[in-house]
Structure 1
Amino acid sequence: MQVDHFKKAKELINIIIGKGYQAYIVGGAVRDHFLGHQLNDIDIATSATPYQIQTIFEKVIPVGIKHGTVMVRYKGESFEVTTFRSESGYSDYRRPDHVSFVDSIDIDLSRRDFTINAMAMTSTHHLIDPYKGKHDLDQQTIRAVGSPIRRFTEDPLRILRALRFASQLNFRIDEDTYTAIKCLIDMVRKLSIERVTVELTKLFNGDFVDYGLKYSFDVHLFSHLPLFQDHPCMVDQLKTINKPFSKLVDVFVFLNRISVESPSITTWCKTYRLSNRTLNNGKRLCYLVNLYEEEGCSAWLIYLLPENLEQRFIRLIEAISSERIDMHHVQMMRRSLPISSQKDIKISGNDLIKWYPQREKGPWIQDYLKEIERAVLEAKVINHISEIKEWVLRCHPPENN
């Protein structure tokens, strides 16, 4: 799939060139190609204007046409195609106030954040590298293009990106670039929380998260981030993290479980603009970690643990208690469970109503069903209507209800 995606990108470039324009693969795709990493999105820079691109291809989506960017659908794949441009003025510390289309790939590369992202490649793999990004890749160095102060002042998110790349790649940050980060770290306060959340997620998910976090602690990043700045003890707790967390909410669950001073999961998620679905997963993981602390890796815990949260739960237990749970053991326990959901129980609320004709309908029905569910799961009663009836009437005699 990756090779096919790369092949289609080169085909698309050759089509643009065939119309008399320049076109190159740029940015992260070039970096990842030389690192041997999986290519996801492949961005293309061209001398053609968005209007000209629209005349070349049938399916073109004007995702950012004001700034020269369109999305081209080609053979079932999407490619972001952007006109060579120069930029000036960043009054909102994010988007340029003025964009000018140019006809030079070198000028276009000069506006990019780091040298390792300021390379371009032709369809024949010829490298355009005016800022020696390949050298910095080989030296495992993160270096700002041109003046670091200017790069970070234009968009402070680049500060977080530098720390995130350290976490993902295990690259050192160039001394001048690092000095500029330390001087301008308070500018991250100007960023929208949504953009911060994206970069923090990638930082905590980096294979070398402890390395990226060390840089983050050294520049006092978290002293400028919401909630962390009000709870400095939370920053100390982060210093124990030495393996990646795939989701930012899992970091918040970790903090919530190891510190009584941690804000609630709801507060963390609302502050960092995480979705309601993410919040619900965070609450569930909190509950399951607490359940594990009470009764270990029980059948009831495995039953309540969704399969899609298994690895994240195991990672949390390891981070919080240093205990290791074997995934194979979890999967074997899951396969041995007598039921997989409440729907598998052989009775319903209507049966309970018949067995307790003197009782009015109410919350007790769901309470009893939950008791039965757990009893069946833990083999205290066989999942058969007569066995369940006998068990529940014995546990809750009608005369006492």
Structure 2
Amino acid sequence: MNMDDAIACIKQLNEAGHEAYLVGGAVRDFLLKRPIHDYDLTTSATTDEIKACFGKSVQVNKAHQTVLVRHNGSLFEITPFKGDTLEADLKNRDFTINSLAMDVHYRVIDVSGGLQDLEAKQLCSIDPNVAFQQDPLRMLRAARFVSVLGFNPNQKLLTSIKSLSHLLRSVAKERITHETEQLILGMHKNEAFLLLKKTGILEEISGLSAIKQKDLVHFLPRETWTEKDRAWLELAVSIQSTDFLASFSLANQLKKKVKRAYAFYDKRQSHGWTNMMLYKAGLEIALLIEQVRKSRGLMVWTKQELDSHYARLPIHAKNELALSGHDLLQIMKRPAGPWVNEALLSLEQAVVSGTVNNEKEELLSFLKKGTS
């Protein structure tokens, strides 16, 4: 997916007799020379006319009449004008920097001063009260743009957020989670959290309320990350808890990984990587923890050191033991019970710590000595 494909898509709509423009974040990021992830188009065509232009298509949002079309192997979301004209559509958008359109000739249409605000790195809305009442999530999105773009909200925007922040209580948890995650991934996340504190949003989002007492100037490292687990772990380390994760709509697997990583991060504060600690954490978690430590200026093990240490472990999982639970039942001639898992755990710890070699006879001898 690239700009040329988007322009070709606009051209196809134009040739069918319809106005069509690239809009929103794609135009903003193109002008800022930032990577573009989503190409949204708006058009004077109806949904049926859009489908007629492109053949294979799917209407993905009936409320907004958005149609997903494939063009030159790329996917584009195309939506009919929200209003009778392009100008009405653009004036109905969240922020002026997102109220820009681009035609097939790469000409920018600006009806709200968005170009000036881009130049000034200023975040504004045509009518913030209306914008936030239409969709309260836009208040949290404002903080996300502060984090990602490094823009400053104008006073009118701040005043409006302060008076309407309570409306965020009605926003779905999934939407809150997505915007929060994007905020954490930005370079200017500390400024964004200061904005949330200043406007009262921290009080309205239960998962973030624990942040309000923190020093937000140096709350998180001034870095960008692409991995979601890294972002949420960084937040957990800064909050010094993982309890807040329960308030966000995150995959259980991600929550478990972050909680597990945080527990080992806590242990790592007072210990180096012993055989047993590295074995229990696993290489992936250990590498993640060292990344977080490095971002905070702490002493770290390099990836090479961790790889080497992990490779030298006698085993990397319980199923690599030379004795299995089935073996124990046959050799010991005892009925199954909790003793089997206890014995395997004892062997696991002994092998990893280097007390005994992972050889069947040595493991049996170790067990017998322990029970004699």
Distance (whole Å) between structure 2 residues aligned to residue 82 and residue 314 of structure 1? 45
1:137 counterpart letter in structure 2? L
1:132 counterpart letter in structure 2? G
Structure 2 partner of 1:216:
196
Distance (whole Å) between structure 1 residues aligned to residue 108 and residue 290 of structure 2? 43
Structure 1 partner of 2:9:
12
> How far is the alpha carbon of 1:309 from its aligned partner?
4.2
> How far is the alpha carbon of 1:52 from its aligned partner?
0.7
State the secondary structure of the residue aligned to 2:50.
Answer: helix
1:242 counterpart letter in structure 2? L
Counterparts in 2 of 1:220 and 1:376: CA distance versus 1, 3 Å:
same
Structure 2 partner of 1:344:
320
Structure 2 partner of 1:283:
259
Structure 2 partner of 1:362:
337
1:58 counterpart letter in structure 2? G
Structure 1 partner of 2:368:
393
> How far is the alpha carbon of 1:13 from its aligned partner?
1.7
**Residue 105, structure 1, aligned to residue 102, structure 2:** no
1:157 counterpart letter in structure 2? L
Deviation digits for residues 210-242 of structure 1, max 9, x if unmatched? 11111112112211222555x5xx422363522
Structure 1 partner of 2:42:
45
Deviation digits for residues 170-213 of structure 1, max 9, x if unmatched? 11111221222222222222222222111111122211111111
Structure 2 partner of 1:120:
101
Structure 2 partner of 1:143:
124
1:253 counterpart letter in structure 2? A
Counterparts in 2 of 1:38 and 1:372: CA distance versus 1, 3 Å:
farther
> How far is the alpha carbon of 1:27 from its aligned partner?
0.9
Structure 2 partner of 1:64:
61
Counterparts in 2 of 1:182 and 1:321: CA distance versus 1, 3 Å:
same
Distance (whole Å) between structure 2 residues aligned to residue 148 and residue 249 of structure 1? 30
Distance (whole Å) between structure 2 residues aligned to residue 20 and residue 274 of structure 1? 44
Structure 2 partner of 1:159:
139
> How far is the alpha carbon of 1:386 from its aligned partner?
2.5
Structure 1 partner of 2:233:
250
Question: Does structure 2 retain, via aligned residues, the 8 Å contact 1:269–1:275?
Answer: no
Structure 2 length normalisation: TM-score? 0.88
Gaps of 5+ in 2: none
Structure 1 partner of 2:213:
236
Question: Does structure 2 retain, via aligned residues, the 8 Å contact 1:29–1:41?
Answer: yes
Deviation digits for residues 40-85 of structure 1, max 9, x if unmatched? 1111111111111111222211111332211112343221111111
2:189 counterpart letter in structure 1? V
> How far is the alpha carbon of 1:289 from its aligned partner?
2.5
Query: How many pairs are equivalent?
Result: 366
**Residue 187, structure 1, aligned to residue 161, structure 2:** no
Matching of residues 162-173 of structure 1 within 5 Å: 162-173=142-153
State the secondary structure of the residue aligned to 2:257.
Answer: helix
Question: Does structure 2 retain, via aligned residues, the 8 Å contact 1:23–1:44?
Answer: yes
Deviation digits for residues 131-182 of structure 1, max 9, x if unmatched? 22222112111111x2122211221111111111111111111122122222
Gaps of 5+ in 1: 87-101
Distance (whole Å) between structure 2 residues aligned to residue 280 and residue 85 of structure 1? 42
Residue number among 274, 280, 284 corresponding to 2:250 in the alignment: 274
Counterparts in 2 of 1:196 and 1:110: CA distance versus 1, 3 Å:
same
Structure 2 partner of 1:96:
none
Distance (whole Å) between structure 1 residues aligned to residue 206 and residue 138 of structure 2? 18
> How far is the alpha carbon of 1:311 from its aligned partner?
5.4
State the secondary structure of the residue aligned to 2:145.
Answer: helix
Counterparts in 2 of 1:211 and 1:255: CA distance versus 1, 3 Å:
closer
Counterparts in 2 of 1:370 and 1:58: CA distance versus 1, 3 Å:
farther
Question: Does structure 1 retain, via aligned residues, the 8 Å contact 2:27–2:102?
Answer: yes
Question: Does structure 2 retain, via aligned residues, the 8 Å contact 1:254–1:319?
Answer: no
Question: Does structure 2 retain, via aligned residues, the 8 Å contact 1:241–1:319?
Answer: no
Percent identity of paired positions between Structure 1 and Structure 2: 27
Distance (whole Å) between structure 2 residues aligned to residue 153 and residue 206 of structure 1? 26
Q: CA RMSD in A?
A: 2.6
Question: Does structure 2 retain, via aligned residues, the 8 Å contact 1:26–1:120?
Answer: yes
> How far is the alpha carbon of 1:316 from its aligned partner?
4.7
State the secondary structure of the residue aligned to 1:106.
Answer: helix
Please say which of residues 111-120 and 33-42 is displaced more in the overlay: 33-42
Distance (whole Å) between structure 1 residues aligned to residue 285 and residue 46 of structure 2? 45
2:45 counterpart letter in structure 1? A
Structure 2 partner of 1:202:
182
Question: Does structure 1 retain, via aligned residues, the 8 Å contact 2:24–2:99?
Answer: yes
Question: Does structure 2 retain, via aligned residues, the 8 Å contact 1:254–1:320?
Answer: no
Question: Does structure 2 retain, via aligned residues, the 8 Å contact 1:252–1:268?
Answer: no
Residue number among 14, 27, 37 corresponding to 2:24 in the alignment: 27
